[in-house]
Amino acid sequence: MKSIFEKDNEYILNLYKRNNLHITKAEGCYLYDSNGQSYLDMFSGIAVNSLGQRNKEVIKAIEKQLSKYNHLSNYFVSEPVIDLAQFLVEFSSASKVFFTNSGAEANEAAIKLARKFGRTIDIDKTEIVTFYNSFHGRTTGTMTLTGQEKYKDSFAPVLPQIKHVKFNDIDELKKVVSDRTCAMFLEIVQGEGGVRQLCPKYVQELSELAKKHNFLLIIDEIQTGLCRTGKLFSYQSLDVVPDVITLAKGLGGGLPLGAMLVSEKLDNILQHGDHGSTFGGNPVACAAGTAVLKTITKEGFSQQVTGKGEYIINKLKSLKKRHPKIIKEIRGKGLMIGIDVGEFANVIKERGIKHCLLLNVTSNSVIRILPPLNISYGEIDEFLNKFELILKET
Ligand X SMILES: Cc1ncc(COP(=O)(O)O)c(C=O)c1O
Of the ranges 36-44, 62-70, 163-171, 187-195, which one interacts with ligand X (CB under 6 A)?
A: 187-195
- Reported for 301-305, long-range contacts at CB under 8 A and 24+ positions apart, including other chains, are 301/227, 301/373, 302/227, 302/230, 302/231, 302/232, 303/230, 305/227, 305/228, 305/230, 305/334, 305/335, 305/373
Residue 191 or 194: the one with the smaller Cβ distance to ligand X is 191
By beta-carbon proximity to ligand X, the closer residue of 130 and 306 is: 130
- Count residues near ligand X (CB under 6 A): 14
**Which residue of the chain is nearest ligand X when measured via CB?**
103
Tally of CB atoms within 10 A around 204 = 13
147 lies in the site for ligand X, by CB under 6 A? no
Q: Which of 115, 125, 136, 228 binds ligand X (CB under 6 A)?
A: 136
Q: For ligand X, which is the closer residue by CB, 104 or 335?
A: 104
Q: Which residues pair with 259 in a beta bridge?
A: 99, 247
Over the range 353-373, which residues count as b (16 or more CB within 10 Å of their CB) and which as e? eebbbbbbbbbebbbbbbbbb
**Stretch touching ligand X by CB under 6 A, among 11-19, 102-110, 227-235, 310-318:** 102-110
Question: Which three-class secondary structure state does DSSP give residue 246?
Answer: strand
Element (H, E) at 293: helix 283-296
- Single-letter code of the amino acid located at 112: K
Rounded to the nearest angstrom, the gap between the alpha carbon of residue 53 and the centroid of all alpha carbons in its chain is 17
The binding track of 199-238 with respect to ligand X, each residue x by CB under 6 A or -, is: ---------------------x-xx---------------
What does the alpha-carbon distance between residue 203 and residue 278 come to, in Å, rounded to a whole number? 36
Taking CB under 6 A as the rule, does residue 332 contact ligand X? no
Q: Does residue 102 belong to the site contacting ligand X (CB under 6 A)?
A: yes
CA distance from start to end of the chain: 38
Q: Residues 192, 243, 379, 382: which binds ligand X (CB under 6 A)?
A: 192
Q: Which of 118, 191, 289, 338 binds ligand X (CB under 6 A)?
A: 191
104 binds ligand X (CB under 6 A): yes
Q: Applying CB under 6 A, which residues contact ligand X?
A: 102-104, 107, 135-137, 187, 191-192, 220, 222-223, 248
